[in-house]
Every structure is written in structure tokens, then in C-alpha cells.
Structure 1
Amino acid sequence: MPAPALLPRFRGRLHDPRTATVVGRLLGLAILVCFLTGVISHYLQEPPTWLSPHLPTRPASGYRVTQGLHVISGIAAVPLLLVKLWTVYPRLFEWPPVRSVAHALERLTIAVLVAATLLELFMGLLNTIQWYAWPFSFREVHWALAWVIIGSLLLHLAVKTPVILANWRRMPAERTESPESSEFPEFREPELRDEVDRRSLLLGLGTAVGAVTLFTAGQSVTPLKDLALLAPRDPDVGPQGLPVNRTARAAGITDDAIRDWRLRVEGPDPYELTLDELRAMPQHRVELPIACVEGWSKSAHWEGVRIKDLLARAGLPDGARLRIVSLQRRGGYGVTEMDHPYTRDDLTLLALRLNGDTLAPDHGYPARIIAPNRPGVLQTKWVTKLEVLT
């Protein structure tokens, strides 16, 4: 069946399987890193019951590294995806559009893959600036889309394996070994021109990926912080030299609540402490990062009372699974949970001071949680109660 005259004609030489394969494997690597680090982030934030007692607290900066890689690889995937779509978009105008049931299913899976990936990256970019322009839960949809992408990508790779293998190497075997190309050099000239153009395209793509990475990664990679011109968050800007996601005002923290503050610790021997009584207990100093899901992170010096010491005073010398209750009245994560690996760890504090000064209200005054390898949203601020769960 001849193609309709209105369909466009494409003369570009790089809309070919070789270019699509080269760009696709780079994009696939970025998506794989983004997916694996996203899985780590999800299970650190919402561990299933069987995993919660086994969450690692070391390395102490583990979440900072994995979440930084998650956002960096997601941003790097944007130019890679755009170029990948550019290489293959002429296929949208193939005629006939559907040649068989198998061909229809293949095109359907590609449509799902492209739509899900575009939406995932778009939502992820908006999350880095904390702009949620949708009525549904970002985290739940982001998590579900990740699995849709991986599933459709694996199916796509299975279908396209012969094409990918044929174009994986620098020069496809069927071209380099043809009699015409070996006996008549003029047959090789178009291929050589294509290779030169392809290298130029990849050089431009590599420059774009390198630029967006270099100018955004500094929000989590400290040596690059002075180059973070495009990063949505400067990790040096905020009270006491540390950024704030939710201020005391936004969380609904009132002066009366802070003025009458007490820490309630429940256990076999429950008790309450005033702020002065907390300050009179042995104080410990640790250096730990705050690492947020938006990709920014920064290390700071924290001082306070170890959670294990507070639990030992309540008759729980081996630690316990806790529910941590905040004074926070608005927004999520006003109540969080912490299992034994954290409560037993010497680095887990109920922090009272930050970088040598009393906590600023926006950083959780009078007291907040700081723990190793823990997402920033779970480093609960304005703590008022520790409830023993087990």
C-alpha cells in the first residue's frame, strides 16, 4: 500500500538503528541508575515490615550518595531521552501504521514506555523545586511509573534484541564484510560520512549531558557546589548554613507549643524531660548529612542526647522500635517510625544544637532527630514524644 502524499519525508541520515542503539544504551544506563537508587530511596522511606529491622545505618552518608545519584541520573536522562526520540520519531509516520497484531503490540509498548518516561522525568524535575502541580501523591505515582517504565523497557529490549545486537558494534558486521565495501571504496563513503556525523551528534549530546550534570550536581556533590548554577537548591543557603524544606510557620509550630515544651519518653519506666533537663544529660557531637529526596544534601555538626541513652533511661537498654511524634500540625511526616538499627546506633541523636548553636526554629527547635543513612523527611523536627512500639 503506497504511503499517503501528505506524510513527511525524512532525509536525515542519523535516524537509523545504529544511532538509536548508541544513544539508547546511554539512556538505558541512566534509567537503570535512576531506578535502582529510587528503589533504595523508597525502601529507606517506607520499608516493609520484614525489612525495617534490617535497614543499614552505614555508610552514614549512604542516602546522600544514592539520592544524589538518583537526581543526577534523572536530570542527565532528559537530554538523552530527547535525542533518542529524535533518532526514532520518523517511525511515527511509517505506512501502514500497523502491519500485524505483533507490530501493533510492539508500537503500543513503545507508546507506554515513552509516555511513562516523559511523565516520570517531568514530575521528578518539578519535585526538585517542590512544585506539585497535580492532585495526586507524587511519591506513589512516581513509584508506580518507575515499574511501568522498567517493565515496558524490558519488553521493548526483548523485541528489539536482534536489531540492537546487529548495531551494537562500531560498524555493523553486515556492512564491513560486504564485498562491495571492500572492493569499491565509494560504497564506504556514505557509511564513513554517517559515522562522522554520528560522532558529532554524540559529542554534542555528551556536552549537553556533561553541562546539565556539572551545573546541577553541586547541590549534593560538595566539590562542585560553586558550579551549581542550574541547581534548584543552594546547600549553603538557610538558617545556620543549612537549607530548610518546611519552616516552623509552615508546619504550624506556635510559640505557646514551644514555650510549654516537654519531651515524653514512653517505655517500662516512662518519664518527661524539660529542655534544661535534656541539656543536663551527657551530650554527644556527630557529623552527619541532611539528604533530601529533592537531591540536595549537606553535612553538618549536630549535638544532643543519644536516642539509645534516652531509651535506656526508660528501661530499654537494647533499644526499641519507636514512633516519633512532632509538634508539627501541617504537612506530611509529623509522625515517623524508627527501628532498632537506628535506635541502637551511637550516631542517632535527639539533636539540640546545630553547627555550634542552639537549633533555629526552622531546624526543629527545641529538639529534632538526626540519624545516619536516613532520608531527610524522616529526620523529624520539633520532636515532643518517643513512643515505644516493640
Structure 2
Amino acid sequence: MILAAKIQDPWNRVSIRHAVRNGLTLVELLIVMSVFLLVSAIALPTFRNLISDQKVSQTSRTIVAYLDEARSRAIAEGRFVGVRIDRYSNDASVDFRTSAGGRLRQLIGVPPYSGEAANSRVRFNYPTSGATTATLEFSGVDNQLLVLYTDTNSSLYNKKNAPVKTGDWIELPGGRYFQINFTSYDNLTDTVTATIDLNSTRSGTATFPVIHEPLHDSSVKYKIHRAPVISTSQSLVFGRGIVVDMNYSGIGIDGNQFAPQSAVANQSIDIVFGPDGRVEYASSDSIGTRSLPSGMIYLCVGETDGVQPSTPFNSDSRTPANLMNSDSVWIVINPSTGRSVVAPNAAVNSTASMAAALREGRSLASLSDTLDANP
């Protein structure tokens, strides 16, 4: 019995010794945990920045897709369709809420207005060759909506909710578009009078130039493209921590016209596409003025922490302003084609003025129309 125990005992001891050697001592476990914590402390900031970069890039691509959808719909339906960028606040102040855009809404086109009568016409009054302004005369009987807007006795007189109003675009034969300005209604002759600018280059107003001048005292058919209305279903809310920074967004290589103002209420930014796909008009400032863009439209997409209207050139590595952050991107809209692309933000060194800083930050974005849409 003793010999049998001795024979079995070595195997048991060997099994026990192997079991002990396959485990970890407390010291070894502490060393492994220390190494793991050290690696995590080094890697987590990098992963956090990587995730943040992906959020900005993904949001920018989603915004471009949203713009492309509106443009495609305008072409398919032959109407004006746009996109509205809503600020967090429309107050008359310069702060985070008025400087940050956090939602896109689609502006749905409504059918063009061509009068109530089948033979509705507009008469040109174009007395001087080479003039930059022409007068239009509409028959009140055939154009009741125009009478409602221009008649001082009408409840819709000069109201923003009028179905047709000053600032809408009239399409004339040959596909020529002009921004229309209604001036008066003469109840004795039952005539609605309006004016259009014929040459934006010479007059300086933001309208479409024409190739052929209209004939004086001619009557032609027309279409008035009315402003789109807000869609309640087509909206895009940005992901948490991502915004369109209005402080740096605007028109032209060094423009920041969308930056909030303190004197008047700040409005949402509208970009509207026409039936041919190009930008027919867009906001030209932060208070609701609309016109044909004079250059590329630049939207700065960045982080909420980077919206710093009081310190627009803050370069602190912990919370840099979006213009000073290489992770920010530019969405560039070409008004001539309506095409939208995404471009990276370039390094900014010149902070003596906003214009100089924007030119540097957009140096890569200015070439974005020839680059791929993905950042």
C-alpha cells in the first residue's frame, strides 16, 4: 500500500506543480494591468480624435447628399427647390446659438405662376436701347394674385406670406430669369407694374444677365417662380457635437457673410436650386437678404467646441476654433453648376484679418470643384 501511494504520488505532485505554473501571480497580474493602462492612456486620445474626425467627415458627406437630392429634385420637377440651414437661435446677438447651424430642412418648390387666364401675357416697356431696367405691365384681370400683393387695399399688401411677391424670379422666353420688383397697382387701368434689371454686370444688382435684349412694347408669356416652402418631413439633424460654423461660412474666397450680427435678428441660410440645376439664389447675409451668389458658397463644418465667435482665431490644441482646426472641412457649392463637394481645411497662419485667414483656410477648398467629393 505504501509503495502504491509512492507510485501515484509523483504523478499527483507533477499535476499540481503544472497547475500552479499555468497561472499568474499577483505581481504578474499587476504588471499586465499596468501595461494595459499605460497603453490605453496613450491610445485613447488618438482613438477619440479618430472618431471625431469620422463624425465630421460623415456629417459633411451627408450634407452634400442632402444638397444633391434638392438639386436633383429641382431638375426633375422643373421647380425651385432649396435647402435651409437653421441656426440654433435667430436672436439679434452674436453668440454660440446664432453662430451654429445644426439642422437642414428642404424647401419644396411650388408650381410657377403664369396668371389665371390661359392667354395671360406681360408687356415690356423698354424705351431706351442699352437701358439696364425694363418695366413690366400685367393685366389685373388675368393676374389676380399680383393684384392682391400690390393693391394697397388688399389684406396681403406687402405681406411676406403673399403667394407671389417682390424677390421672386420671372422666366421669360429663351429661359431668361430676372428678379422681379413689384411697384404698384393702378385700379383705373387695372394694371400691375413691376421692374426687372436686365444686366447684372453693369447695374451691380444680383440678377441673371441676358443674351438678347427684349423688344420694346412686346407682350409675351411668362412664368413667375415662387419661393419654395418649408418641408415638414425632409429634415436632417446633425450628429451630436457637429455643426455648420456660421462664423466662417459665406460667399467668395474670403467672405463670411453668414456670420451673425448683433443689430438685427439673424435668419436661417437658404440655398435654392433652379430647374437647370444651378443655384438660382442664396442668402447673401445673415439677416435674410437673397441674391445670386457672386462666388463659390463655402460652409465650414466643424465641432461644437470650435464655435467661438469671441475668439475666432483660438489655436489652443484642446479646443481650437474650427477655422484653426485641421479636422474641420469645407463644403463648397458651385453656383454655376449647383455641384457640391467636400474639401479639407488648410493651415491658417494669417490672423490679422478674417478675410486673410479665410483665404488661407480655403486655399485647398478653392480647388475643390476638381477634387473627389469625399474628404
TM-score by length of 2: 0.23
Higher helix share: 1
TM-score by length of 1: 0.23
Higher strand share: 2
Which structure has the larger Rg over C-alpha atoms? 2
